[in-house]
């Protein structure tokens, strides 16, 4: 069983955001594997442990991204491929999906896993865009995965509930929290990861031009949201405070 | 030029987000001098076109096919992509719902179109659109321009006001070849009973670690019942196993923007605030006077939630009669 798992390196979710020249600054920010992608990596490794085969983690990124890929190798993935190119630095979801699809087109795979979205841009586009470019079926936001013969049965989150889907393989699956419990890399795992293959490829290596991955959506500017002002803390006996609150909700905030 | 809106329905009922997206589509069409076209897809959904007429569309195209009874990516993407190719609009809008999130990027990739997800504002000026999308779960706000001929966006639920408008509202049939889907829906389960869905709810009552135990959510549910609210949860309560992840509000959960958000026993970690910071009114109930939630709450009550919430329930009962 060959599994390709797509990951993205993102800011730690605890990170405070600062803006520099209309862009989000990455100065002093702790970088992690996007939390949803960790579920994807974990599921891939579990399937390999059960069925044999290989897990290849792939990413689009820069020098720092190698660290994220090493982390996945330490978890138990077998090898890694990083697509790195100056032309991808200001790329959008389209750029990433085109590059990943071209890389995957020459790889063997039975399953492709991604995280359901990245916690940075929260766009949730790459899994579906990748599936489309590879002409594969997709199942997004999955919380359970069961491998069958030439198909998989998954549970996915929908608005206000869940849906059970039978999906023909190969296919692209995007992982939601709840799919599994993610392991921490073991010390031997970390040691082994240092010797595992991590290949860096450029757009030219993939036979793509800068034009092929030119972003369709371009950032004009990023800014901090207007700070929310602290309001009033109501004080007094519980009954009084609650009566005051309800009055404020009705007459001032007009929300009930 | 035209603006195309995808009208989302489930089980033969139009979703709330559909009214929001069509209303915004109409505002943008008026600003840009474009016509508004709405695509309604499903099985046995022709009746819903009447309902949509109230929102000012020039044309409502109905793709009525038994193959569209269940939402499947393959079937719906074929219909939406074919409709866009036929109409060649400048802008395509969908809701940032489970269906919109699945469908929009698939169709965008097919058409090599730029897509900005989860917009809280779309502006039209100098002949171009600017798409405003919160990033880092609202810790920053980014504005994008899209350079493809067809520009696509999904709109965040509960942000765009619903407005009725006059429009020609002519109803036409639309059909295209629908491929056999490679996914099959085996079962659909709705959770949460009659409660509104978190991202659609006008009021959300949320509980956190301060509840002390999973049974504490019964109290939150009682409060929600009186207000017709949805029930949310902090990450701490989900990680403790008290609540399913489906109900988590925050950067690694749902991003919500209700009119009223009542945080009970939630300290207000940065990743939770990111998920609910755009709520119109926030109430924080916490016994810790230093809790971060008081820095964002419009109204705070410092105290034991097990005393405050029952008193609040009684008072609301009284007021609501």
CATH of the domain at B260: 3.40.50.1220
DSSP A232: E
pLDDT band at A55 (very low <50, low <70, confident <90, very high): very high
Could you tell me the CA-to-CA distances from B170 to A126, B6, B173 in Å, in that order? 36, 16, 10
Tens-place pLDDT, residues B40-94? 999 999 999 999 999 999 999 999 999 999 999 999 999 999 999 999 999 999 9
- Say if residue B14 is in the same domain as residue B139: yes
A150 and B CB contact within 8 Å: no
- Write the pLDDT tens digit of every residue in B186-231: 999 987 678 899 999 999 999 999 999 999 999 999 999 999 999 9
B24-53 residues touching A, CB cutoff 8 A: none
Q: Whole domain around residue B229: which residue ranges? A: 198-320
User: Which residues lie below 8 Å from residue A55, measured CB to CB, with a gap of 6+?
Assistant: A3, A4, A5, A41, A44, A45, A48, A76, A77, A78
Averaged pLDDT, A160-170 = 96
In terms of domains, do B131 and B251 share one? no
* B155 and B244 inside one domain: no
Last residue of a domain, one of B110, B140, B173: B173
Q: Tell me whether residue B255 is in a domain.
A: yes
- Domain contains B193: no
CA–CA separation, B236 and A38 (whole Å) = 19
- A232:B298 CB<8 A: yes
In Å, what is the CA distance from A71 to each residue of A13, A29, A41, A84, B205?
17, 17, 10, 18, 38
Pairs of residues, one from chain A and one from chain B, whose beta carbons lie less than 8 Å apart: 276
Number of domains in chain B: 2
- Search chain B and give the residue with CA nearest A167: B183
Instruction: Verify whether the Cβ–Cβ distance B117 to A124 is below 8 Å.
Output: yes
Q: Which residues on chain A are in Cβ contact (under 8 Å) with B137?
A: 13, 119, 122
Q: Each residue of B88-119: pLDDT tens digit?
A: 999 999 999 999 999 999 999 999 999 999 99
Rounded to whole angstroms, the Cα distance separating A31 from B175 reads 48
Query: B181 lies in a domain?
Result: no
Q: How far is CA B12 from the centre of its chain?
A: 18
Residue B259 domain flag: yes
Query: What is the ipTM metric for this complex?
Result: 0.95
Asked if residue B229 and residue B143 are part of one domain, the reply reads no
CA gap B321, A73 in Å, rounded: 61
CB contact under 8 A, B183 and A139: yes
Same domain, B163 and B234: no
**Residue B61 domain-assigned (yes or no):** yes
Residues B106 and B166 reside in one and the same domain: yes
For residue B280, the chain A residues in CB contact (below 8 A) are 253, 255
Identify whether residues B169 and B241 lie together within a single domain: no
Please state whether beta strands A138-147 and A151-158 pair in parallel, antiparallel, or not at all (unpaired). antiparallel
What's the confidence (pLDDT) of residue B192?
A: 64
CB contact under 8 A, B300 and A234: yes
Task: Let me know if residue B76 belongs to a domain.
Answer: yes
A189 vs A212: CA distance, rounded Å: 37
For chain B, give the percent of residues with pLDDT over 90. Answer: 92
Same domain, B11 and B141: yes
Mean pLDDT of the region B29-34: 96
Say yes or no: B210 and B243 in one domain. Answer: yes
Interface of A with B in 177-236 (CB under 8 A): 177-178, 215-225, 228, 230-235
Q: Scan residues 104-163 of B and list those with Cβ closer than 8 Å to A.
A: 104-106, 108-110, 112-118, 130-131, 133-148
Name the strands in the sheet holding B151-155, side by side, starting at the edge strand that comes first in the sequence: B114-119, B151-155, B91-95, B2-7, B35-42, B59-64, B170-173
Task: Report the length, in residues, of chain A.
Answer: 256
Beta strand A161-168 pairing with A151-158: antiparallel
Window 162-221 of B: residues touching A by CB (8 A cutoff) are 181-192, 197, 199-200, 203
Residues B135 and B237 in one domain: no
Q: Is B131 helix (H, G, I), strand (E, B) or coil?
A: strand
The per-residue DSSP string of A39-73 comes to HHHHHHHHHHHHH--EEEEEEE--TTHHHHHHHHH
Domain boundary residue, one of B111, B140, B173: B173
Q: Does B288 touch chain A (CB under 8 A)?
A: no
Can you list the domains of chain A with their CATH numbers? 2-213 (3.40.50.620)
Whether B184 is covered by a domain: the verdict is: no
Residues B158 and B219 in one domain: no
Smallest CA–CA distance, residue A76 to chain B, in Å, is 24
Q: Where residue B138 sits, what CATH number does that domain have?
A: 3.40.50.620
CA dist list (Å): A66 to A8, A28, A57, A131? 11, 18, 11, 25
Pairing of strands A2-7, A111-115: parallel
Can you name the residues that pair with B207 across neighbouring β-strands? B233, B264
Calculated CA dihedral for residues A61, A65, A69, A72, nearest 10 degrees: -110
Domain boundary among B173, B208, B232: B173
| CB B99, CB B91: distance < 8 Å | no
B228 in any annotated domain: yes
The answer to whether residues B89 and B24 belong to one domain is yes
Of A120, A176, A243, the CB nearest to B315: A243
Distance CA B62, CA A112 (A): 34
Q: For residues B113 and B81, what is the distance between their CA atoms, to the nearest angstrom?
A: 11
């Amino acid at each position: 069983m060959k599994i390709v798992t797509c990951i993205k390196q993102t800011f730690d979710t605890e990170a405070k955001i600062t803006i520099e020249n209309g862009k989000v600054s990455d100065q002093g920010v702790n970088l992690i594997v996007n939390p949803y992608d960790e579920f994807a990596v974990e599921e891939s490794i579990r399937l390999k442990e059960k069925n044999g085969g290989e897990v290849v983690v792939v990413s689009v990124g820069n020098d720092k991204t190698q660290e994220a890929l090493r982390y996945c190798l330490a978890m138990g993935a077998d090898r890694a491929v990083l697509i790195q190119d100056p032309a991808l630095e200001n790329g959008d979801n389209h750029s990433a999906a085109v590059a990943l699809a071209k890389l995957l087109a020459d790889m063997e795979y039975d399953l492709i896993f991604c995280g359901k979205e990245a916690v940075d841009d929260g766009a949730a586009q790459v899994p579906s865009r990748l599936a489309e470019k590879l002409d594969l079926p997709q199942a997004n936001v999955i919380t359970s995965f069961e491998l069958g013969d030439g198909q998989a049965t998954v549970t996915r989150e929908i608005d206000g509930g869940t849906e059970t889907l039978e999906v023909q393989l190969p296919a692209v699956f995007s992982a939601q929290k709840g799919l599994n419990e993610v392991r921490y890399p073991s010390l031997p795992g970390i040691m082994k990861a240092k010797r595992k293959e991590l290949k860096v490829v450029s757009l030219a290596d993939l036979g793509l031009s800068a034009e092929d991955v030119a972003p369709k959506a371009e950032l004009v500017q990023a800014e901090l949201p207007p700070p929310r002002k602290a309001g009033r803390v109501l004080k007094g006996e519980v009954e009084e405070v609650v009566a005051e609150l309800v009055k404020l909700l009705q007459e001032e905030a007009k929300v009930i | 030029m035209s603006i195309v809106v995808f009208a989302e329905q489930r089980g033969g009922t139009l979703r709330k987000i559909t009214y929001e997206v069509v209303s915004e589509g109409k505002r943008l069409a008026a600003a840009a001098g474009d016509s508004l076209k709405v695509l309604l897809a499903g099985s046995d959904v022709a009746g819903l076109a009447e309902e949509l007429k109230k929102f000012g569309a020039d044309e409502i195209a109905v793709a009525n096919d038994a193959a569209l009874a269940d939402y499947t990516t393959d079937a719906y993407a074929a219909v939406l992509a074919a409709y866009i190719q036929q109409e060649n609009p400048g802008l395509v809008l969908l809701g940032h719902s489970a269906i919109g999130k699945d469908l929009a990027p698939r169709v965008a990739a097919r058409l090599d179109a730029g897509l900005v997800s989860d917009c809280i504002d779309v502006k039209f000026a100098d002949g171009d659109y600017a798409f405003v999308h919160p990033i880092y779960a609202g810790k920053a706000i980014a504005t994008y321009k899209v350079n493809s001929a067809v520009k696509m966006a999904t709109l965040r639920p509960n942000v765009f006001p619903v407005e009725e408008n006059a429009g020609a509202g002519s109803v036409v049939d639309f059909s295209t070849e629908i491929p056999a889907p490679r996914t099959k829906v085996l079962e659909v389960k709705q959770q949460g009973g009659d409660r509104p869905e978190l991202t659609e709810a006008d009021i959300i009552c949320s509980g956190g670690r301060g509840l002390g135990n999973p049974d504490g959510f019964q109290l939150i549910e009682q409060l929600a019942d009186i207000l017709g609210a949805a029930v949310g949860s902090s990450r701490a309560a989900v990680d403790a196993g008290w609540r399913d992840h489906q109900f988590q509000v925050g950067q690694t959960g749902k991003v919500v923007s209700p009119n009223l958000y009542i945080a009970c026993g939630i300290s207000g970690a940065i990743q939770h605030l990111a998920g609910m910071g755009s709520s119109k009114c926030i109430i924080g109930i916490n016994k810790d006077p230093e809790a971060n939630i008081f820095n964002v709450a419009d109204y705070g009550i410092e105290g034991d939630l097990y005393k405050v919430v029952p008193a609040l329930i009684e008072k609301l009962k009284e007021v609501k009669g």
